[in-house]
Amino acid sequence: MVDKLLTFEEAVKKFDPTFGIEVHVELCTKTKMFCSAPNPAFENDKSLLENPNTLTTPVSLGLPGALPVLNRQAVEYAIMLGLALNCKIAPRSVFSRKNYFYPDLSKDFQTSQYDLPTCLDGYLDVELEDGEVFRVEIERAHLEEDAGKNTHVGGATGRIQGADHSLVDYNRAGVPLVEIVTRPVRGAGKRAPEVAAAYVKALRDIFKALGISRAQMERGNVRADVNLSLAESGSQELGTRTETKNVNSFNAIKDAAIYEIRRQAAVLSSGGKVNQETRHWHEDSKTTSAGRPKSDADDYRYFPEPDLVPLDIDTQWVERVRKTLPELPAAKRKRLKEEYGFADLEMRDVINAGALDLIEATVLAGSSPQGARKWWMTQLATFASENAITLDEVADTKCTPEQVAALQKLIDAGDINDKIARQVLEIVLNGEGDDPAKIVEEKGLKVVSDDGALVSVIQDAFKKMPKAKDDIAAGNLGAAGPIIGMVMKATGGQADGKRVRELISEEAKK
Ligand code: MN
């Protein structure tokens, strides 16, 4: 234990952080990895999980003599992911038994891949919030099955210590997983926590784009373990690492890395040694605490699974899958940036706000790109933050991209101006109306673009300000400001601004 952490700035001045990340992703195949039991990660159907031990077969319960059969779709998803991560796809991979005892693992071994994984030697270029790109090298991505779930009842913390009893649910046992393991990531310095979080975010976006997982962090579809060590600044040797388990949000990944950097720096600075161990992440206090010691080669007595033949993937299969790969997030961002004509900074803001997919949907529904960007990045973003929900949640529950497009189309057609559009959007967000066009109609919000009505207001204004009329007629358009103001006031802000300016120029010359 250390009494006092170093500040992050002190810590990264004295030490170079190295991190590595293991990500487990649940594949959304219909059935489990080695049997025909329904996969709860297929649709993330909560009701399925409310009835413990119903999504099982003798295989996923690990009954003696039950024989596994490999899920072809899971292999295909792993190939897709491997290709997206620039990995080599191994022509032969082998499932092994990883032996350990835990109540949620009734077989006493996890079927995984060991020395011959399906995907290896890849990389992912990760873009940080300011646009800097950092390459993360990937050592391997292997297929394995998930374990069941223990629930410890009666204690204060939900951990096994202090619990009265524990429940075991095997519904998750046998859910197909791919585990993606990075090589040690060095040289990120003080940006290490950001790179770690951005890497997992980039992975999550790829899972979604490929459609191989629902990829909802909050549902546990994507789970990350963060390895972190420190070395003396400038030293080539790696320090002793800790592995913080199950850090399951992007912010938590960043915060866990920051905490471990500060903690390990304090331990090392006071002459202590970092223990090689797993650590638990505590979301409430944003700290980690010691778990179990972990040696470099925990002895799981791996041996090839005798009930499964080696997995041979021929080049034709790989090439067939390669042809079905959808556009990946990085390529899509590049394309949309060009198509939409967004400036670098605009695009970065859009991406950091998680608004790109919503803007794309809005444009596909008929909006101009800049119009779509404006709504999602201003009024809708404000609404999201005021209500502490995400933009996606706004789109799901309050205002769809189609509604935003309908609103923007009214502006483009000159039916309403920006000011009225904001009112209409407010009405939609408050749940007081669905169809922007109908709201405009019913509330009489249409802009006054009837020339006759506008001209008479303009003439009234000129009577009150004859000098302005002469100035405008003489070409001083700056003098039109007060006249425009009077017209807007007289029409309750519902005048079509562009038409008003045109009419003022015409009328001034008369
Ligand atoms: Mn694993």
Domain coverage including residue 479: 451-508
Q: Tell whether 393 is covered by a domain.
A: yes
Taking the chain (510 residues) in runs of 10, the rounded mean pLDDT of each run is: 84 97 98 97 80 94 96 98 98 97 94 97 95 96 96 85 92 97 96 98 96 94 97 91 95 97 96 94 94 80 96 97 96 96 94 94 96 96 94 94 96 88 94 92 79 85 88 86 87 80 87
Q: Tell whether 312 is covered by a domain.
A: no
Pair 26, 129 in one domain: yes
Count the domains in the chain.
3
Q: How far is ligand 1, taken at its centre, from the CA of residue 94, in Å?
A: 15
CB 496 within 8 A of CB 449: yes
Which of these three, 442, 474, 498, is where a domain ends? 442
Which of these three, 411, 442, 473, is where a domain ends? 442
In angstroms, the CA 459 to CA 438 distance is 32
Placement of tokens 């092994």 in the chain: 96
Three-class DSSP category at 268 = helix
CATH number at residue 504: 1.10.10
Picking from 362, 369, 373, the residue whose alpha carbon sits closest to that of residue 400 is 362
Q: How far is ligand 1, taken at its centre, from the CA of residue 380, in Å?
A: 39
What pLDDT does residue 16 have?
97
Which of these three, 419, 442, 465, is where a domain ends? 442
Q: How far is ligand 1, taken at its centre, from the CA of residue 145, in Å?
A: 8
Q: Tell whether 2 is covered by a domain.
A: no
Pair 481, 419 in one domain: no
pLDDT digits over 135-153, tens only? Answer: 999 999 999 999 999 999 9
CB 317 within 8 A of CB 331: no
CB 472 within 8 A of CB 388: no
Count of other CB atoms within 10 angstroms of residue 387: 13
Q: How far is ligand 1, taken at its centre, from the CA of residue 135, in Å?
A: 23
Q: How far is ligand 1, taken at its centre, from the CA of residue 440, in Å?
A: 56
Q: Tell whether 349 is covered by a domain.
A: yes
What pLDDT does residue 450 have?
73
- Spell out the residues 6+ positions from residue 36 whose beta carbon is closer than 8 angstroms to its own: 57
Q: How far is ligand 1, taken at its centre, from the CA of residue 24, in Å?
A: 7
Q: How far is ligand 1, taken at its centre, from the CA of residue 292, in Å?
A: 17
Q: Tell whether 321 is covered by a domain.
A: no
pLDDT digits over 190-200, tens only? Answer: 999 999 999 99
Q: How far is ligand 1, taken at its centre, from the CA of residue 148, in Å?
A: 13
Q: How far is ligand 1, taken at its centre, from the CA of residue 2, in Å?
A: 31
Picking from 127, 122, 130, 121, the residue whose alpha carbon sits closest to that of residue 195 is 127
Q: Tell whether 317 is covered by a domain.
A: no
What pLDDT does residue 257 have?
98
Q: How far is ligand 1, taken at its centre, from the CA of residue 179, in Å?
A: 6
* Cα–Cα distances in angstroms (integers) from residue 503 to residues 372, 452, 481, 493, in the given order: 29, 10, 13, 16
Pair 437, 457 in one domain: no
In angstroms, the CA 440 to CA 417 distance is 11
Q: How far is ligand 1, taken at its centre, from the CA of residue 109, in Å?
A: 12
What pLDDT does residue 452 have?
80
Pair 140, 279 in one domain: yes
Pair 403, 264 in one domain: no
Pair 32, 158 in one domain: yes
Q: How far is ligand 1, taken at its centre, from the CA of residue 119, in Å?
A: 14
Q: How far is ligand 1, taken at its centre, from the CA of residue 207, in Å?
A: 17
Pair 80, 184 in one domain: yes
Q: How far is ligand 1, taken at its centre, from the CA of residue 48, in Å?
A: 24
Q: How far is ligand 1, taken at its centre, from the CA of residue 144, in Å?
A: 7
Q: How far is ligand 1, taken at its centre, from the CA of residue 20, in Å?
A: 14
Q: Tell whether 3 is covered by a domain.
A: no
Pair 117, 261 in one domain: yes
Q: Can you list the alpha helix ranges (DSSP code H) found in 270-314?
A: none
Pair 386, 498 in one domain: no
Q: How far is ligand 1, taken at its centre, from the CA of residue 510, in Å?
A: 81
Pair 438, 455 in one domain: no
In angstroms, the CA 473 to CA 509 distance is 5
DSSP secondary structure string for all residues of 421-456: HHHHHHHHHTTS-S-HHHHHHHHT---B--HHHHHH
Pair 71, 130 in one domain: yes
Pair 219, 290 in one domain: yes
Q: Tell whether 130 is covered by a domain.
A: yes
Q: Is 149 exposed, middle or buried (0-12, 13-18, 19+ CB in 10 A)?
A: middle
pTM for this model (two decimals): 0.84
What pLDDT does residue 2 have?
65
What pLDDT does residue 1 have?
60
Q: How far is ligand 1, taken at its centre, from the CA of residue 420, in Å?
A: 54
- Burial letters for 173-196: b for 16+ Cβ neighbours within 10 Å, e otherwise? bbbbbbbbbbeebbebeebbbbbb
Q: How far is ligand 1, taken at its centre, from the CA of residue 113, in Å?
A: 9
Count of other CB atoms within 10 angstroms of residue 115: 10
